[in-house]
């Protein structure tokens, strides 16, 4: 993990930056961008609104950023929607968060189809409420033949738990003499992660000013470029995304070499 960068709203107003100002290289767009969508609750609190209003507005931002990432040619966009630790939040908030995927997909699915976006999920989906799981699986099924951007929702996802689950699966295979110790390496380990069919993210963005991974893609982000933006997620816009991509493009990715 290297190259940390932080944007501060007080020094630059991203809403006034245009694509022409940024001059991003359309030939060097990250194939996979992952985002920790942080700040919904604080956005609502600043406006003396209930936290669920922040989550609602955050979902509108998801639509906006998905559209723009698709237009820019991003191949994979992974969004941290609900972590394995989020179950400890107040029941009312959790229940609302479990309702959001259905509401979001029912209103946005026609546009996802129009833009050729494919929906996928990573996480322990079987533990989600039935109505949440049903909405997600229906979207996955309806978009499975789309060939544009893959929109990946991390739902009930935790990086540590994912790694432990992978180790358990490999250990079971070892006990059954289906793999040897020599068979176990980074490549084969990847095959037992939720992201086995998804490339590692080149760019990982976290909004709201916090600077930590919060158990998100901790194996997969070992060589991601990190950008921390002070903008609260409901206020994050197309220009914020392009600024993060511009920062990514200005870095020299050496992967431990020279």
What structural domains and CATH numbers belong to the chain?
A: 28-158+203-249 (3.40.1180.10)
In this prediction, residue 16 carries a pLDDT of 44
Which has the minimum average pLDDT: 15-24, 103-112, 123-132, 234-243?
15-24
Compute the CA torsion angle 187, 189, 194, 196 (nearest 10 deg): 20
Q: Report the interhelical angle of 51-72 vs 91-114 (nearest 10°).
A: 20
State the residue for tokens 């099924």: 141
Band (72; pLDDT cuts 50, 70, 90): very high
Active-site residues, by number, are 38, 86
The confidence band for 243, taking pLDDT boundaries of 50, 70 and 90, is: very high
What residues have CB less than 8 Å from 24, skipping those under 6 apart?
72, 242, 245, 246, 249
9 pLDDT above the threshold of 60:
no
Place of tokens 């194939």: 31
Cβ neighbours for 248, distance < 8 A, ≥ 6 positions apart:
30, 202, 203, 225, 227
Phi first, then psi: give them for residue 153, nearest 5 degrees: -95, 125
If residue 63 lies in a helix (H) or strand (E), which one and from where to where? helix 51-72
| Share of residues in the chain with pLDDT > 70 (%) | 90
Alpha-carbon distance 97 to 94, whole Å?
5
Of the candidate ranges 2-11, 78-87, 126-135, 227-236, the one whose mean pLDDT is the lowest: 2-11
- Using alpha carbons, list the distances in angstroms from residue 257 to 120, 253, 254: 34, 9, 5
Give the model's confidence band at 258: pLDDT under 50 very low, under 70 low, under 90 confident, else very high.
low
State mean pLDDT over 67-79. 98
Predicted pLDDT of residue 23: 85
- State residue 118 phi and psi, 5-degree precision: -105, 135
pTM for the whole structure: 0.90
pLDDT value at 253 more than 80: no
pLDDT at 11 over 50: no
Are 105 and 138 a contacting pair, CB within 8 Å? yes
User: Is the confidence at residue 4, as pLDDT, over 60?
Assistant: no
Looking at residue 13, what is its pLDDT? Answer: 41
Band the pLDDT of 12: cuts 50, 70, 90: very low
pLDDT score for 255: 61
Assess contact for 113 and 68: CB atoms under 8 A.
no
């Amino acid at each position: 993990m290297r190259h940390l960068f932080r944007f501060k709203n007080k020094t630059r107003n991203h809403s006034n930056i245009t694509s022409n100002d940024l001059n991003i290289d359309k030939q060097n767009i990250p194939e996979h961008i992952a985002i920790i969508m942080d700040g919904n609750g604080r956005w609502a609190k600043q406006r003396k609104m209930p936290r669920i209003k922040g989550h609602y507005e955050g979902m509108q931002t998801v639509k906006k950023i998905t559209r723009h990432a698709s237009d820019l040619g991003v191949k994979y966009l992974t969004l941290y929607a609900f972590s394995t630790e989020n179950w400890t939040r107040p029941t009312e908030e959790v229940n609302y968060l479990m309702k959001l995927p259905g509401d979001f997909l029912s209103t946005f699915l026609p546009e996802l189809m129009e833009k050729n976006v494919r929906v996928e999920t990573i996480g322990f989906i079987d533990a989600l409420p039935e109505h949440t799981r049903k909405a997600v699986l229906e979207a996955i099924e309806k978009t499975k033949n789309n060939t544009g951007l893959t929109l990946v929702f991390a739902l009930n996802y935790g990086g540590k738990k994912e790694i432990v689950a992978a180790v358990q699966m490999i250990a079971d295979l070892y006990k059954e003499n289906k793999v040897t110790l020599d068979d176990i390496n980074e490549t084969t380990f990847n095959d037992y992660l939720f992201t086995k069919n998804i490339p590692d993210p080149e760019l990982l963005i976290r909004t709201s000013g916090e600077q930590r991974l919060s158990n998100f893609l901790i194996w997969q982000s070992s060589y991601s470029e990190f950008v921390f933006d002070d903008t609260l997620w409901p206020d994050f816009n197309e220009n914020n995304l392009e600024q993060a991509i511009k920062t990514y493009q200005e870095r020299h990715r050496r992967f431990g070499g020279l």
